Amino acid sequence: PKEIFLKDYMKPDYFFDTVDLQFQLGEEKTIVTSKIVVSPGVKAGVSAPLVLHGRDLILLSIKVNGTELKSEEYTVNSRNLRLSTPPADVFNLEIVTEIYPQLNTSLEGLYKSTGNFCTQCEAEGFRKITYFQDRPDIMAKYTCCIEADKTLYPVLLSNGNLIEQGDLEGGKHYALWEDPFKKPSYLFALVAGQLDCRDDSFVTCSGRNVALRIWTPAQDLPKTAHAMYSLKAAMKWDEEVFGLEYDLDLFNIVVVPDFNMGAMENKSLNIFQSRLVLASPETATDGDYAAILGVVGHEYFHNWTGNRVTCRDWFQLTLKEGLTVFRDQEFSSDLGCRTVKRIADVSKLRIYQFPQDAGPMAHPIRPHSYIKMDNFYTVTVYEKGAEVVRMYKTMFGASGFRKGMDLYFQRHDGQAVTCEDFYAAMCDANNAQLPNFLQWYSQAGTPTVKVVSSYDPSSQIFSLKLTQEVPPTPGQPVKEPMFIPVAVGLVDSTGKDMPLTSIYSDGTLQTLSSDGQPVFTTVLQFKKKEEEFIFKNIPERPVPSLLRGYSAPVRLDSDLSESDLFFLLANDSDEFNRWEAGQVLARKLMLSLVADFQQQKTLVLNPKFVAGLRSVLRNTSLDKEFIAKAITLPGQGEIMDMMEVADPDAVHAVRNFIKQELALQLKEDLLAAVTSNRSSESYTFDHDSMARRALKNTCLAYLASLNEPDVTELALHEYKSATNMTEQFAALGALSQNPGQARDDALLDFYNKWQDDYLVVSKWFALQATSDIPGNVANVQKLLSHPAFDLRNPNKVYSLIGGFCGSPVNFHAKDGSGYRFLGEIVLQLDKINPQVASRMVSAFSRWRRYDETRQALAKAQLEMIVSADGLSENVYEIASKSLA
């Protein structure tokens, strides 16, 4: 397999001005005719060869300026079609290919999902439709004519505006679509099938009336209301916050059950996997509702950040994804609760991205190389990328950030650009320089920031000494210092923020509060290996609140004492840091108990920790969802991540011990929280109601860990009386923590109730897959042959197999049964869908973190996989890099 490097990027020799596509969709085969107007680039006259990408295509004919090419004028192999001497002037290229969407299980290019045709072209799927320069810097205007049987495929959709439609002979019909905006091939989309739509409209700020349509099979239409609400909210938000207006008269969303990604931002024809559109209170949880809001927003926001301004090459993916994730995070924050959303996003970063950044697949948000681009749609490119965008806003403020965005669009609308272009727009709009900031784009690894504080009462000087360390990662043994914005406040002994007047560092004094207004949080610009920041006129020893709001994606290692942390948990005005103080305490506690467990000592829970959580639980002035987050322990993965040798059994035992001990000692408070937060009215998707449900469900899970008859009875009562999926599913989760009859009965009852709803059944798979009950691999193995399971459906695979790999005790079972299970499945999946297989094989990548027995078992599976015949490049890349 060939590795592709960022440093080898070259401008294309030929550009495409217009692309006219015609699809004759059939049951046996589909014929694609592509007519392209090609203009030679700067090398005109030199007559460079024109190399087109193509995979799994049958070439029927190729013409240049109307004349069929002779066989010596081109070569074709399994990857490319090469015209050796194309004309030196603008010319017409016409290519006819034959493809077999009904056999395409990879779900990239054109394929069928439950009888309907649909496409997925990002990153490199368009080359499975026709021969093309399938790269994002080839931007062209497209038309698309679709012909198909009228009865089987009454709805025919593509990008842009519908220009013409009509009937054809033989029971067929056609539709002609025209997209007035230039776009790269990855944004092309086509849908044909039996679909109904929810119809709505939105009037933009300049008065354009936009038709909004969400397409699904008729029976699912009632479940599209929340997605439609989300779309309209996103359109309005983007106008209000960024001044960005929608640019066509039609916006379509199509729902398909079989989809590799979550959703896709094709110009005016977004395609979504069902889970991220369909919701009703009875069948979807608050988490699902929130995900729909975020992802509908995300794909809509791509219309500007991704489509109008796109990426020069795939290495720049974070240019559109990091930025668009940041935008969807802000959107969800503005519509919900900012602190709670921030906590959720930071948790996601810690649980998924930190391990990636510390493992064999570590890569910068802009990777230097790849074998398969599909493997780089990662939490690093997306979530860490969003953190990097957030740092610009932290540095420049909301209005400075907006100025930067405005300049970015002013300069680059209609272009395919790079991360440097975004950086330059941000800096130029703010007349600023951010030395060492670009390192965030090129260096992998999570930096550690160490903070040592000191206070001198006689001079009233408080100082923070910061050092940074960026760890070595594959291919990058030595790192440069990065620009790290560290937001800081100083809290006095009464719990109030002290006014900050000036900071002295690096030989310069910076006066804060120029307009006479006191400053309570300031952002330190930390850009060297080591730097000291001095605060003057500090009348007493403060407790520093560091990295407020999580102002940079780093690991913080501070010298705050246990009592400082309890103090911040109770008092910090920065709510994020209140939560964070609790998490730091919990991580320390868990690590020390893990050590006790490994030395076979009796486990004892620090009473101060119990008291701290009790006062959070009883604090009626706090947001209920914040309380739910604050009493939730760090994940097992987070703790394993901090250990020399990860020990899943010890971490699991300790986490369970703490849970049960807290449940025992806080039982009265937990019971009160459950009974006082039951739903009284019908389901609403608003923050207060969700917060109530979150707190109730978190407390119920704690109680159920006691496995006592009264709490089982309670959980059963909550399960039976629930009027929405959020509470029903949480109660089922509570009941299924402990093996036994109650668990088996509840799981069976739930399945019987919901067997006709494949999305709810996927949740049922996921719940069982992630279970920590002993010996669960056998159960998961059995579920593979359950009639509702299907290896060809990515969502089901992610639920059952992905879910299983996320369960530390069973996936990492010491007898190797979990590893063997995954090894076999990966090879089966690879034959069906390499992208999905490759996501699954990633679960092996951190095998070196475990003890020798586990290492040997996991390594054996990886070796078996890399040596398998006919392995995809996707799986090969992950498996071989994991072994390297």
Contact partner at residue 122 from ligand DPP, Zn ion, none, CB < 5 to 8 Å by partner kind: ligand DPP
| Residue 681 falls in the annotated catalytic set | no
Could you tell me the smallest distance in angstroms from the CB atom of residue 135 to ligand DPP? 15
Q: Footprint of Zn ion on residues 308-327 (CB under 5 A)?
A: 321, 324
Cβ distance 396 to 404 under 8 Å?
A: yes
Residue of 20, 94, 108, 122 that binds ligand DPP (CB under 6 A): 122
Q: How would you class 204 by CB atoms within 10 Å of its CB: exposed for 0-12, middle for 13-18, buried for 19 or more?
A: middle
Could you tell me the smallest distance in angstroms from the CB atom of residue 306 to ligand DPP? 7
Could you tell me the smallest distance in angstroms from the CB atom of residue 307 to ligand DPP? 10
Q: Tell me whether residue 264 or residue 486 sits nearer to ligand DPP (CB atom).
A: 264
Q: Footprint of ligand DPP on residues 47-66 (CB under 6 A)?
A: none
Record the tokens describing residue 594, joined without a space.
């893990």
Binding region for ligand DPP (CB under 6 A) out of 132-140, 258-266, 409-417, 758-766: 258-266
Binding region for ligand DPP (CB under 6 A) out of 84-92, 261-269, 741-749, 766-774: 261-269
Cβ distance 574 to 548 under 8 Å?
A: yes
Q: Tell me whether residue 294 or residue 553 sits nearer to ligand DPP (CB atom).
A: 294
Using Cβ positions, the residue closest to ligand DPP within the complex turns out to be 264
Assess 20 for contact with ligand DPP (CB under 6 A): no
The alpha carbon torsion through 484, 486, 487, 489 (nearest 10 deg) reads -170
Assess 263 for contact with ligand DPP (CB under 6 A): yes
Q: Tell me whether residue 264 or residue 419 sits nearer to ligand DPP (CB atom).
A: 264
CA 519/CA 508 separation, integer angstroms:
19
Contact partner at residue 20 from ligand DPP, Zn ion, none, CB < 5 to 8 Å by partner kind: none
How is 721-739 classified by DSSP, letter by letter? H--SHHHHHHHHHHHTTS-
Sequence-distant (6+) residues with CB within 8 A of 355 are: 637, 641, 846
CA 828/CA 821 separation, integer angstroms:
11
For residue 221, give the nearest of 293, 278, 272 by alpha carbon: 278
Binding region for ligand DPP (CB under 6 A) out of 249-257, 263-271, 561-569, 868-876: 263-271
Record the tokens describing residue 797, joined without a space.
């695979």
Could you tell me the smallest distance in angstroms from the CB atom of residue 266 to ligand DPP? 9
Contact partner at residue 261 from ligand DPP, Zn ion, none, CB < 5 to 8 Å by partner kind: ligand DPP
Assess 124 for contact with ligand DPP (CB under 6 A): no
- The SS3 call for residue 166 is strand
Neighbours of 643 (CB within 10 A): 15
Residue of 147, 220, 238, 299 that binds ligand DPP (CB under 6 A): 299
Q: Which helix (H) or strand (E) holds 709?
A: helix 709-721
Q: Tell me whether residue 299 or residue 345 sits nearer to ligand DPP (CB atom).
A: 299
How is 263-320 classified by DSSP, letter by letter? EE--TTEEEEEGGGT---TTT--HHHHHHHHHHHHHHHHTTTBTTTBEESSGGGHHHH
Sequence-distant (6+) residues with CB within 8 A of 225 are: 198
Q: How would you class 31 by CB atoms within 10 Å of its CB: exposed for 0-12, middle for 13-18, buried for 19 or more?
A: middle
Could you tell me the smallest distance in angstroms from the CB atom of residue 881 to ligand DPP? 22
Q: Which helix (H) or strand (E) holds 749?
A: helix 741-754
Assess 265 for contact with ligand DPP (CB under 6 A): yes
- The SS3 call for residue 814 is coil
Could you tell me the smallest distance in angstroms from the CB atom of residue 242 to ligand DPP? 18
Helices (H) and strands (E) in the chain, counts: 29, 33
CA 453/CA 137 separation, integer angstroms:
50
Could you tell me the smallest distance in angstroms from the CB atom of residue 4 to ligand DPP? 19
Assess 362 for contact with ligand DPP (CB under 6 A): no
Q: Tell me whether residue 302 or residue 652 sits nearer to ligand DPP (CB atom).
A: 302
Residue of 62, 144, 145, 264 that binds ligand DPP (CB under 6 A): 264
Could you tell me the smallest distance in angstroms from the CB atom of residue 298 to Zn ion? 5
Contact partner at residue 263 from Zn ion, ligand DPP, none, CB < 5 to 8 Å by partner kind: ligand DPP
Q: Which helix (H) or strand (E) holds 827?
A: helix 817-832
Record the tokens describing residue 207, joined without a space.
């008065």
Q: Tell me whether residue 181 or residue 301 sits nearer to Zn ion (CB atom).
A: 301
Residue of 238, 288, 321, 574 that binds ligand DPP (CB under 6 A): 321
- The SS3 call for residue 185 is helix
How many residues line the site for ligand DPP (CB under 6 A)?
9
Could you tell me the smallest distance in angstroms from the CB atom of residue 263 to Zn ion? 8
Q: Footprint of Zn ion on residues 636-665 (CB under 5 A)?
A: none
From the list 108, 122, 265, 299, the catalytic residue is 299
Q: Footprint of ligand DPP on residues 808-827 (CB under 6 A)?
A: none
Q: Tell me whether residue 280 or residue 324 sits nearer to ligand DPP (CB atom).
A: 324
Q: Tell me whether residue 14 or residue 382 sits nearer to Zn ion (CB atom).
A: 382
Binding mask 159-198 for Zn ion (x = CB under 5 A): ----------------------------------------
Q: Tell me whether residue 307 or residue 793 sits nearer to Zn ion (CB atom).
A: 307
Sequence-distant (6+) residues with CB within 8 A of 841 are: 822, 826, 862, 865, 875, 878, 879, 882
3-state helix, strand, coil in the chain (%, to 5): 45, 20, 35
Assess 261 for contact with ligand DPP (CB under 6 A): yes
Binding site for Zn ion (CB under 5 A): 321, 324
**Sites of contact with ligand DPP (CB under 6 A):** 122, 261, 263-265, 298-299, 302, 321
Catalytic residues: 299
